[in-house]
Amino acid sequence: MTGIDDVARAAGVSTATVSRALSGRGVVSAATREKVLAVAGELGYVVSVAASSLASGRAQSIGVLVPLPDLWFFSTVVSAISGRLLPHGYDITLFNLTENPAERRVLFDRSLRRGRIDGLIVLSAWLSAAEQAELAALDVPVVGIGPSPALPTLVVDDVAVGRAATAHLLALGHRDIAHIGQSDGDDFHIPTLRRRGWEQALTDAGIAPRDDLYAAGDFTLEGGRAAARRLLTGPAPTAIFAASDEMAVGALVAARDLGLAVPGDVSIVGVDGHELSRFFDLSTVDQFPHAQGERVADAMLAALGELEAPAEVGLPFELVVRGSSAAPPA
């Protein structure tokens, strides 16, 4: 491996100057900088992270903590983060947060603490308060996406999301609007917030939210289908607001299986902006996951002093009306 002194020798300068020229820290005359860059290029020299990190304290890597890396939403966000951080010289270290307590301990006690990362991005509402506190106690900046009691995070106003979806259905003339979600009463729980939005919108319209128009789903296609089947064979609402696009597609299929036309007999609205929603012509509240990844990456860069701190505005969302929602049957 060619090292920094090979470059120094070939360029006729000291290693300190090579370091300065290559890192951009400290002053170097334009002429020597160019010389050094040229020589380094010819020699194919690349700074060793290990040595650089040991000497400088900077690891040139950002950790991303993900609960379910194979969920479309998370992998999309990670992909966006990666794209944003690469140009700044940061690599991405992926930490898969499993349910396994032993693995979690290894993760929190060792992986995250061995100095590999300059910062941590947390994509998980599924951390205990204690775990969130542990993260906050790391000696690196931590930023996240989603409501959290202990971490600085970027959030979508999920109550407003629920209201937007429900208000859309109300405006179309629906009154029996069901909800598929997963409410646990926690203020930092996204599904709970979306359910609140549903309740608020109904209440604002002078309609009492009915418990029998709520069905729990587990955010999968199958869960959405099962929940919708229960709703449509029971109280038979004219519209369903599902807390995710995957559940909404499940509901779409359930309706078809029951011989119901969408949106003729029942309207369906989801949340996410998932690729499936476009394919199935599903009305949804898009929350722009890719943009979320970019925003959280920017927040991290700001925390690292590499960027101006961006304005503190909530993450955007937008109702996208497609073919799955229309006026209720006459």
Partner DNA sequence: TTGAAAGCGCTAACAG
Partner DNA sequence: CTGTTAGCGCTTTCAA
The CA distance from 114 to 103, in Å, is 16
Segment contacting a second copy (CB under 8 A): 109-117, 162-170, 185-193, 226-234?
Answer: 109-117
CA neighbor of 123 nearest in space, from 82, 182, 87: 82
Q: Which of 8, 18, 107, 251 binds a second copy (CB under 8 A)?
A: 107
CA neighbor of 199 nearest in space, from 220, 188, 213, 189: 213
Q: Is 119 exposed, middle or buried (0-12, 13-18, 19+ CB in 10 A)?
A: buried
Q: Which of 14, 48, 128, 203 binds a second copy (CB under 8 A)?
A: 48
**Contact in structure between 308 and 302 (CB atoms under 8 Å):** yes
Pull the structure tokens for residue 262: 């969408």
- Tell me if 47 contacts a second copy by CB under 8 A: yes
Q: Which of 91, 157, 265, 294 binds a second copy (CB under 8 A)?
A: 91
Chain residues binding DNA by CB under 7 A are 1, 3-5, 12-20, 22-23, 25-33, 45, 47-48, 50-52, 54-58
Pull the structure tokens for residue 103: 């693995």
- Tell me if 94 contacts a second copy by CB under 8 A: yes
Pull the structure tokens for residue 131: 């775990």
Site string for a second copy, 199-228 (x = CB under 8 A): ----------------------xx--x---
Residue 263, preceding peptide bond in cis (omega within 30° of 0)? yes
Pull the structure tokens for residue 153: 């995070």
- Tell me if 92 contacts a second copy by CB under 8 A: yes
78's contact among DNA, a second copy, none, with CB below 5 to 8 A by partner kind, is a second copy
Element (H or E) spanning 170, and its range? helix 158-171
Contacts to a second copy by CB under 8 A:
1, 44, 46-51, 53-54, 59-61, 64, 68-72, 74-76, 78-79, 82-83, 86-87, 89, 91-96, 98, 103, 106-107, 109-111, 113-116, 139, 221-222, 225, 250, 253, 275-276, 279-280
